[in-house]
Amino acid sequence: QRPIVRLLSCPGTVAKDLRRDEQPSGSVETGFEDKIPKRRFSEMQNERREQAQRTVLIHCPEKISENKFLKYLSQFGPINNHFFYESFGLYAVVEFCQKESIGSLQNGTHTPSTAMETAIPFRSRFFNLKLKNQTSERSRVRSSNQLPRSNKQLFELLCYAESLNTLLKEFQLTEENTKLRYLTCSLIEDMAAAYFPDCIVRPFGSSVNTFGKLGCDLDMFLDLDETRNLSAHKISGNFLMEFQVKNVPSERIATQKILSVLGECLDHFGPGCVGVQKILNARCPLVRFSHQASGFQCDLTTNNRIALTSSELLYIYGALDSRVRALVFSVRCWARAHSLTSSIPGAWITNFSLTMMVIFFLQRRSPPILPTLDSLKTLADAEDKCVIEGNNCTFVRDLSRIKPSQNTETLELLLKEFFEYFGNFAFDKNSINIRQGREQNKPDSSPLYIQNPFETSLNISKNVSQSQLQKFVDLARESAWILQQEDTDRPSISSNRPWGLVSLLLPSAPNRKSFTKKKSNKFAIETVKNLLESLKGNRTENFTKTSGK
Ligand code: CTP
Ligand code: MG
């Protein structure tokens, strides 16, 4: 029997059950099991989407009294929660208890008019709050941070960090940032609903798979399944009613047409949507734009259900053992610091590929830390059965049916072993395959071959060039070496020496190829030490300045 934590919510909203997973009786407590409530991905998505539909985004004056602001908004209905954040101005995200309150707010709102420009009238859930009397509001509200830390802040932080978990805590998406992501999708859904009233815009990728870093892009998927299947069950008697529709030669062309229209719509009418680009000839056609108020770079796709399923799979892997996310974050930060990844598309390794590599590596440990996708398929029940475009996407969705790992290796050891493993991987012969959890012969000559877990004939890292792969291998070897040195040099964990991960995140020694030569590495480590010392100096200085005030 699992204890249920019942969250109190406003009248009118459904109280949610959050199960806190207990350690199954008889299994070994390794200390690495996640203590977070493990909900099904679909439950989590539905709940957050429903919250987002009751939420509005408001551009606020710089100085505002929080109490008066809330009192003003409460006249439209009770408020469940709210927060402020800054992004080229102050914004408030306000979640009402009931969806109806939004209609009342919209009815009490007018479309602005200026002498110089003409507004295109559009009633959305994105508002602008103005003060009638500027001087009466003086206080500044506390705003939540939505931005990633700078490199300098990162190094400073790591200098004092006690474990790799610090990276995860500092970089993972916050609750507020996640809410803002669901809200942004919901606002875009309102736009798309003008054409497809039953559509759903779902976030996928790192915004929802638990591997997202603050500042990562927002991948959205326009789901038209409801529109397609709506009347499927309304068949009676001898009659079959169909909609009159336009036909096009392929699914791809249909996708291109839908996205093209939505791109135009976002460009012309979408409040806060700027820099709209229609990238319709890509393998997976998309509309890219910036959502100015949230600061998110958005990629809108449609007909991309398999990617949503991949996100669900990663969500499950991330929830199975808390070392998974911490290790993925460390590897992502390491790759970013060495420019192995980039926000610009190109011949580099992507975060998605790196995540797959970490999962594969964790499947290869002895005993394994993560199960293979095939074994997750074996645990599936009838409800989990799922075939998308002929691809079998069946795997167990109920996390409690997966046995926790007996492996007790530390995160620090795993990071070192990750670098060792891929520093010596036979990339020329073998492919990475999380479905079977073992290397296989490469089916083609791509430098890096990582099999797409569901569309098994696709390589998710097809874009990676030989030179980028070589850079990854060289850096992995160098990092394994640095961590090895740490182990031998460091007398005890508590000693006052700069800590291994910081040295891994700094740019390499000038002559990277000579990583096997102890001398040049000693030099690199000395450089790191000096840098850290200077950071420590700055920190003390800052502290003195602040406390001296
Ligand atoms: N995807 C895929 N095959 C690829 C690239 C992407 O199936 N070759 C899917 C994955 O489900 C991925 C999602 O599209 O999670 C979004 O891609 P991308 O934004 O590149 O990766 P993220 O996982 O979101 O990571 P990031 O934080 O870098 O955005
Ligand atoms: Mg992404």
Q: How do residues 282-305 score in pLDDT, each as one tens digit?
A: 989 999 999 999 999 999 999 889
CA distances from 364 to 27, 359, 404, 425, 438 (A): 21, 9, 15, 12, 7
Instruction: Render pLDDT for 408-426 as a digit per residue (tens, 0 to 9).
Output: 999 989 999 999 999 999 9
Instruction: Render pLDDT for 295-334 as a digit per residue (tens, 0 to 9).
Output: 999 999 998 899 999 999 999 999 999 999 999 999 998 8
| Cα gap 462→49, rounded to integer Å | 34
Model confidence at 3, pLDDT cuts 50, 70, 90, reads very low
| Cα gap 335→101, rounded to integer Å | 46
**The ligand 1 atom nearest the CA atom of 352:** 23
Confidence (pLDDT) at 148: 72
Which ligand lies nearest to the CA atom of residue 173 in the structure? 1
**The ligand 1 atom nearest the CA atom of 455:** 7
Confidence (pLDDT) at 488: 67
Q: Which residue has the tokens 């995200």?
A: 93
SS3 395: coil
Instruction: Name the β-bridge partners of 85.
Output: 91, 144
Instruction: Render pLDDT for 463-506 as a digit per residue (tens, 0 to 9).
Output: 999 999 999 999 999 999 888 877 666 544 444 444 556 777 76
The rounded Å distance from CA 313 to ligand 1 centre is 13
| Cα gap 337→342, rounded to integer Å | 10
Q: Which residue is closest in CA terms to ligand 1's atom 3?
A: 460
CA distances from 390 to 212, 232, 360 (A): 29, 21, 25
**The ligand 1 atom nearest the CA atom of 217:** 29
Average pLDDT over residues 5-26: 35
| Cα gap 332→212, rounded to integer Å | 10
**The ligand 1 atom nearest the CA atom of 341:** 28
For the residues of 407-440, what is the DSSP string, one character each? ----HHHHHHHHHHHHHS--TTTEEB-TTTTS-E
Q: In 10 A of CB 76, how many CB atoms?
A: 21
**The ligand 1 atom nearest the CA atom of 351:** 28
**The ligand 1 atom nearest the CA atom of 212:** 27
| Cα gap 129→233, rounded to integer Å | 45
The rounded Å distance from CA 219 to ligand 1 centre is 8
Which ligand lies nearest to the CA atom of residue 148 in the structure? 1
Nearest alpha carbon to residue 151 among 510, 543, 531: 531
Report ipTM for this prediction.
0.99
Q: Which residue is closest in CA terms to ligand 1's atom 28?
A: 351
User: Packing angle between helix 305-320 and helix 41-53, nearest 10 degrees?
Assistant: 110
Which ligand lies nearest to the CA atom of residue 283 in the structure? 1
Q: Is the peptide bond before 121 cis (omega within 30 degrees of 0)?
A: no
Least confident piece of the model among 107-121, 204-218, 239-253, 442-456: 107-121
Q: Which residue is closest in CA terms to ligand 1's atom 21?
A: 352
Q: What percent of the chain has pLDDT over 90?
A: 62
The rounded Å distance from CA 218 to ligand 2 centre is 6
Which ligand lies nearest to the CA atom of residue 315 in the structure? 1
The rounded Å distance from CA 340 to ligand 2 centre is 16
Model confidence at 96, pLDDT cuts 50, 70, 90, reads very high
Model confidence at 235, pLDDT cuts 50, 70, 90, reads low
Q: In 10 A of CB 12, how many CB atoms?
A: 15
Nearest alpha carbon to residue 395 among 409, 376, 412: 376
The rounded Å distance from CA 205 to ligand 1 centre is 5
Q: Which residue is closest in CA terms to ligand 1's atom 12?
A: 205
Q: Is-contact 84 142, C-beta < 8 A?
A: yes
The rounded Å distance from CA 286 to ligand 2 centre is 13
Question: Which residue type is seen at 454?
Answer: F
Among 297, 343, 352, 450, the mutation site with the greatest number of ligand 1 atoms within 8 A of its Cβ is 352
Which ligand lies nearest to the CA atom of residue 301 in the structure? 1
The rounded Å distance from CA 172 to ligand 1 centre is 17
The rounded Å distance from CA 310 to ligand 1 centre is 9
For residue 436, pLDDT beyond 80 = yes
Element (H, E) at 46: helix 41-53
The rounded Å distance from CA 217 to ligand 2 centre is 5
**The ligand 1 atom nearest the CA atom of 462:** 8
| Cα gap 22→37, rounded to integer Å | 10
Confidence (pLDDT) at 205: 97
Among 214, 216, 219, 313, the mutation site with the greatest number of ligand 1 atoms within 8 A of its Cβ is 219
Contacts 24+ apart (CB under 8 A), 242-250: none
Confidence (pLDDT) at 171: 86
For residue 105, pLDDT beyond 60 = yes
Q: In 10 A of CB 279, how many CB atoms?
A: 15
Q: Is-contact 141 90, C-beta < 8 A?
A: yes
Question: Which residue type is seen at 231?
Answer: S
For residue 89, pLDDT beyond 70 = yes
SS (H, E, C) 238-270: CECCCCCCCCCCCHHHHHHHHHHHHHHHHHHHC
The rounded Å distance from CA 311 to ligand 1 centre is 8
**The ligand 1 atom nearest the CA atom of 299:** 19
What does the angle CA 50 – CA 56 – CA 59 come to, to the nearest 5 degrees? 155
Confidence (pLDDT) at 166: 80
Contacts 24+ apart (CB under 8 A), 496-500: 497/529, 498/159, 498/528, 498/529, 498/532, 499/158, 499/159, 499/161, 500/412
* Pocket of ligand 1 from Cβ distances under 6 Å: 205-206, 212, 216-217, 219, 307, 310-311, 350-352, 460
Confidence (pLDDT) at 33: 43
| Cα gap 224→227, rounded to integer Å | 5
Residue burial 495-530, b: 16+ Cβ < 10 Å; e: rest:
eeebbbbbbbbbebbeebeebeeeebbeebbeebee
Which ligand lies nearest to the CA atom of residue 204 in the structure? 1
Q: Is-contact 281 193, C-beta < 8 A?
A: no
